Amino acid sequence: MAHGQHFLQIPGPSPVPERIQRAIDRQVIDHRGPEFQALGHDVLAGIREVFGTSGPVIIYPASGTGAWEAAIVNTLSPGDKVLMAETGQFATLWQKLASRFGIIVDFIPGDWRHGVNAAAIAAKLADDKAHAIKAVMVVHNETSTGCLSDIAAVKTAMGSHPALLMVDTISSLGSTPVRHEAWGADVTVSGSQKGLMLPPGLSFTAISDKAIAASKTNTLPRSYWDWSEMLTFNAKGFFPYTPASTLLYGLKEALAMLREEGLENVFARHQRLAAACRAAVRGWGLEILCQDPKVYSPILTGVVLPAGHDADNFRKIALEQFNISYGAGLGKVAGKVFRIGHLGDCNELTLMAALCATEMTLQLAGVPHKAGGVAAAMSSFTDENKKLRLSA
Ligand SMILES: *Cc1c(COP(=O)(O)O)cnc(C)c1O
């Protein structure tokens, strides 16, 4: 029988802080009344800052996958061509979803260990003189691998090509800068259960004027996901159908928490935790799944186990012995890697506990490794503090 706190160290859902749990734990309200209207206005305005936009952000009662679908059905038509990049499992799933709607996806192959190849996108678009490609769709933080792609570089690679830029920030929003407007993105989708520290159940879509213009002429049918209905109701603080009102109280609290800590401090904390986690992995002499240091994820770290060692068995032992959950290897890397999440409501000691469990489990599972990963992570924190003291 497990006792004490469970360590939910998966890269989403991330643990829900007490403050947010308390904010959600309340009676439901009339979603057509004045109390809801104030809440609606509040969260619809507040979420814009996290997306880096002054334009509309639509909130669906749905998982992130709903926002993926909404992005497609509101902007594209059957037979449209789009360009996507195979960064990992989530890019692969979004590509499959698009294909089911009759979208023709040119899926740039990837090895699941790097970010989006912007040069390959530039080359494809340069060849597309007739502008047949209607959208470039990329995943910002590829949660299956731990690579954080450079979205500004993707936009630069697009040059003057008129394709829409759609970005999946489902696991990056609230943990690392998302700059919908500065990137020049047209559709930026996200979810509640990762950097925003909420339970699963809400998804978000920031949209540009160009995306709204595309939604006026595209021909894929939609009803539940329709932006125009949403925008009409949202202008008055309401929703066209019953919103997830208690989760919206949670969102209000999450936005307050991010504002109190300061977004830049939140992002710096994620970088600090990620650096310590990578120091541990290197200290154990194990491989980090992401092979390009420029795109190391601040949100999670994928750890490759040596050949012949099953990552799922490793996770099973860790759960049984130490009451901790890691992210499983997904798709192509199933059984070969496990993922340590360090996002949302995570601090130095939460991560250190997780790394202690990791080092002990490596021992118990008989995975060849060097001692000293935990010590390397601690040094990474103390060195960081020393630097701060010296610069003060
Ligand atoms: C979690 C995740 C998704 C899927 O979101 P759901 O809420 O499970 O539908 C999509 N993309 C990325 C990058 C994710 O991390």
Instruction: Report the distance separating Cα 387 and Cα 382, nearest Å.
Output: 9
User: Within this chain, do residues 28 and 174 fall inside the same structural domain, yes or no?
Assistant: yes
Residue closest by Cα to atom 6 of ligand 1: 64
- When pLDDT is cut at 50, 70 and 90, the band that residue 235 belongs to is very high
What's the whole-number mean pLDDT along residues 149-167? 98
Q: Whose CA is nearest to atom 12 of ligand 1?
A: 170
Domain boundary among 208, 241, 259: 259
- 364 and 244 in a single domain? The answer is no
Q: Which residues line ligand 1 (CB under 6 A)?
A: 12, 63-65, 90, 139, 143, 168, 170-171, 191, 200
Report if residue 1 sits inside a domain.
Answer: no
Q: 245 and 268 share a domain?
A: no
Answer yes or no: is 375 within a domain. Answer: yes
The answer to whether the predicted template modeling score (pTM) of the entire model surpasses 0.95 is yes
- Retrieve residue 308's tokens: 């012949």
CATH assignment at residue 383: 3.90.1150.10
Q: For position 386, what pLDDT does the model report?
A: 73
- From the alpha carbon of 203, which atom of ligand 1 is closest? 7
What confidence tier does 282 reach under pLDDT thresholds 50, 70, 90?
very high
Count: domains in the chain: 2
Chosen domain end from 226, 259, 292: 259
Assess if residue 169 is contained within a domain.
yes
Phi, psi (degrees; rounded to nearest 5) at 238: -115, 180
Find out whether 263 and 47 touch, Cβ atoms under 8 Å.
no
Best of 60, 65, 94, 144 to mutate for ligand 1, by most ligand atoms within 8 A of CB?
Answer: 65
Nearest-atom number in ligand 1 for the CA of 171 is: 15
pLDDT tens for 20-63 read 999 999 999 999 999 999 999 999 999 999 999 999 999 999 99
Q: How far is the CA of 98 from the centre of ligand 1 (A)?
A: 15
> What is the distance in A from the centroid of ligand 1 to the CA of 64?
5
Q: Which two tokens stand for residue 300?
A: 């999670």
Last residue of a domain, one of 236, 259, 282: 259
Q: Is residue 54 part of a domain?
A: yes
**307 found inside a domain:** yes
User: Residue 244: pLDDT above 70?
Assistant: yes
Residue identifier of the C-alpha nearest atom 5 of ligand 1: 64
pLDDT of residue 205: 98
Looking at the fold, whether 242 and 338 belong to one and the same domain comes out as no
Residue 142 CA, closest ligand 1 atom number: 13
pLDDT of residue 212: 98
**Do residues 242 and 209 both lie within one domain?**
yes
Do 278 and 234 sit in the same domain of this protein? no
Q: Which residues sit opposite 164 in a β-bridge? A: 135
Are 243 and 375 contained in the same domain?
A: no
Q: Which runs of E-coded beta strand occur in 233-319?
A: 287-288, 300-304
Question: How much is the average pLDDT of 56-84?
Answer: 98
CA 360 to centroid of ligand 1, rounded, Å: 30
The CATH number given to whatever domain includes residue 38 is 3.40.640.10
C-alpha separations of 202 from 47, 177, 245 in Å = 12, 20, 10
Tokens of 259: 């504002």
224 shares its domain with 270: no
For residue 205, what are its two tokens? 């879509």
Query: Candidates 112, 170, 178: which one to mutate for ligand 1, based on the most atoms within 8 Å of Cβ?
Result: 170
Q: Give how far Cα 184 sits from Cα of 25, 118, 280, Å.
A: 38, 15, 37
Q: 387: pLDDT confidence band, cut at 50, 70 and 90?
A: confident
Q: Domain check: are 150 and 116 in the same one? A: yes
Mean pLDDT over 215-243 rounds to 98
Whether 2 maps to a domain, the answer reads no
**Are residue 206 and residue 315 in the same domain, yes or no?**
no
pLDDT the model gives residue 110: 98
- Over residues 289-334, the pLDDT tens digits come to 999 999 999 999 999 999 999 999 999 999 999 999 999 999 999 9
Burial of 75 (0-12, 13-18, 19+ CB in 10 A): buried
Residue 66 belongs to domain spanning: 18-259
Answer yes or no: do 88 and 199 share one domain.
yes
- The dihedral through the CA atoms of 289, 175, 76, 117 has a sign that is negative
Asked if 239 and 230 count as a contact pair (C-beta separation under 8 A), the reply is yes
In a shared domain, residues 215 and 298:
no
Q: Evaluate whether residue 297 is within a structural domain.
A: yes
pLDDT number for residue 1: 60
- High-pLDDT (> 70) share of the chain, %: 98
